[in-house]
Amino acid sequence: MDLLDNLLLGFSTALLIENVLYCFLGVLLGTAVGVLPGIGPTATVAMLLPITFNFEPVTALIMLAGIYYGAQYGGSTTAILINLPGESSAAVTALDGHEMARQGRAGPALAAAAVGSFFAGTVATVVLAVAAPPLAGVALRFGPAEYFSLVLFGLIVSIALARGSALKALAMIALGVLLGTVGQDIYTGTPRYVFGQRELYGGIDFVSVAVGMFGIAEILRNLENERTRVSLPASVTGLWPTAEDRRRIVGPILRGTGLGAALGILPGGGHVLASFTSYAVEKRISRRQDEFGHGAIEGVAGPESANNAAAQTSFIPLLTLGLPAHPVMALMVGAFIVHGITPGPNVINDEPALFWGLIASMWIGNVLLVLLNLPLIGIWVRMLRIPYQVLFPMIILFAAVGTYSLNFNAYDVYAIAFFGLLGYVLIKCGCEPAPLLLGFVLGPLLEENLRRALIISRGDPSVFLTRPISAVLLLLAAAALVITVLPAIRERRDTVFTEEE
């Protein structure tokens, strides 16, 4: 009965006119920006993050969640129509989705993606509602030593699931942790790495890092890619799948939902892993293996279901442990903190309306996605024809204005320019910015719990090994690091991410 009462509280919060309106607006904006080639959910959420900071916390988070899964759906739209996935997890969708579009079956491909996403989102929301409270209860028994080990484990696993070189991912996490230490010491107030700049005493602004590294840098990268700028979408006719299509997508949707719900909680790239695993499973068990890569509708329905289920369950570690599973969740952590809320196990007790309202809004957002996107496919297609030389300056302008409006400080605008250039250089060097953002968000948490644990134990580092949960987490972190550098695993990672690109 407690779960039912909590869900009623959630829906009573999420169904407030203001919250439904901003959920709809988030889904609409997320899809509108996410449908643009080369701009995935992370860049979309980063650039639209500033507009939510003047809202009530629950409204802001509902809107950001809507932006997130709206952008994810937009990314699958571009993957199907013009073979340009908006993010890595949509790369699998492009394999068969675009082939279907070339055969004049873009409508059924988009419908399969929409139906699979809706079903997976609904199931994953139920999983989130059921799994989050007991996990939050366990997390309340965590002390500083356990939290330090948990954060370290999350960072190590994110290295294992990061794209490309594990060494570069480790370097990006280290750089992110270093940037997170800029400002005044949390216990003594001593300035660190401020170089005499008054603006750095409060630390580097999270929004500046996010908008610069994921918004500006992504735009700079896309501007040099001629293919991104001139592709024209395929025509879209006949949205509803045939009876044969409907029969063929049932199994992939069910299997993709289960895989995505389980893998979505993994730190780093669980949603990417879910999509690729779903595609591999469908191809392996299918009696039409020769169709995969040439327009198999199972290759669209399965990965899209897995992707959306993983997107929803990635909120589980965020809401219960305060740990982001991937960069978008790191942005959500920033949104929590900006609104004066510390994400973690206390949220469910301290802010029950926010916690359950956010969960309920996910189902409402998925309904809005289906009702909104299929009828508006024609508009998204026309948006894809807007010249980039017109579109991208407008996006940069809105990002700069939104960032400036937070503190009315020109320094924040200079910061997004700096981090935009830094992100672009890192991308050109083959380094992914995503681990950097995870390190930047989790670094202060890592440092605070390390120092608290050592203060409580009077400087005895064995406290991390003598507490059972902490010792197990450290052991798992060490195992993940060893597995990452094994030749067979490293070769498999290279193969997966080469296929993805």
pLDDT tens digits along 379-411: 766 766 677 677 778 778 877 876 776 677 888
Burial class (CB in 10 A: 0-12, 13-18, 19+), 385: exposed
Going by pLDDT thresholds of 50, 70 and 90, the confidence category of residue 500 is: very low
Bigger pLDDT: 243 or 240? 243
From CA 183, how far away is CA 61, in angstroms rounded? 27
Instruction: Decide: helix, strand or coil at residue 236.
Output: coil
Burial class (CB in 10 A: 0-12, 13-18, 19+), 11: middle
DSSP 8-state assignment for residue 215? I
User: According to the model, what pLDDT value does residue 239 have?
Assistant: 67
From CA 219, how far away is CA 458, in angstroms rounded? 49
Going by pLDDT thresholds of 50, 70 and 90, the confidence category of residue 177 is: very high
Average pLDDT of span 16-24: 92
Q: How far is CA 415 from CA 213, 241, 262, 440, in A?
A: 10, 48, 38, 15
Q: How far is CA 379 from CA 110, 326, 371, 456, in A?
A: 14, 30, 14, 59
**Alpha helices (runs of H) in 140-190, residue ranges in sequence order:** 144-160, 166-180
pLDDT tens-digit readout, 424-460: 999 888 887 878 888 888 888 889 889 999 999 988 9
From CA 412, how far away is CA 184, in angstroms rounded? 18
Q: What is the pTM of this model?
A: 0.74
The H-or-E segment that residue 143 falls in is none
Largest CA distance in the chain: 69
pLDDT tens-digit readout, 55-92: 888 999 999 888 888 888 877 887 787 766 666 667 67
Average pLDDT of span 324-347: 82
From CA 127, how far away is CA 110, in angstroms rounded? 25
Going by pLDDT thresholds of 50, 70 and 90, the confidence category of residue 178 is: very high
Sign of CA pseudo-dihedral 71, 72, 73, 75: positive
Contact 41, 88 (CB under 8 A): no
Contact 311, 264 (CB under 8 A): yes
DSSP 8-state assignment for residue 376? T
Paired residues of 184 in beta bridges: 191
User: According to the model, what pLDDT value does residue 18 have?
Assistant: 92
- Kindly state the percentage of the chain with pLDDT values over 70: 87
From CA 112, how far away is CA 114, in angstroms rounded? 5
Q: Give every CB contact of residue 79 below 8 A, 6+ residues apart in sequence.
A: 85, 86, 90, 91, 93, 94, 97, 98
DSSP 8-state assignment for residue 214? I
pLDDT tens-digit readout, 117-171: 889 888 988 888 888 888 877 777 788 898 899 888 888 877 766 666 778 888 9
| Residue closest to 450 by CA, chosen among 192, 204, 146, 138 | 146
From CA 142, how far away is CA 150, in angstroms rounded? 10
Angle at 89 between CA 225 and CA 41, to 5 degrees: 70
pLDDT at 368 over 80: yes
From CA 395, how far away is CA 402, in angstroms rounded? 11
Average pLDDT, the chain: 81
Going by pLDDT thresholds of 50, 70 and 90, the confidence category of residue 238 is: low
| Residue closest to 358 by CA, chosen among 326, 309, 312 | 312
Average pLDDT of span 231-238: 54
CB atoms < 10 A from the CB of 77, how many? 29
From CA 239, how far away is CA 234, in angstroms rounded? 13
> Letter for the amino acid at 133?
P
> Letter for the amino acid at 362?
M
From CA 497, how far away is CA 424, in angstroms rounded? 20
pLDDT at 319 over 80: yes
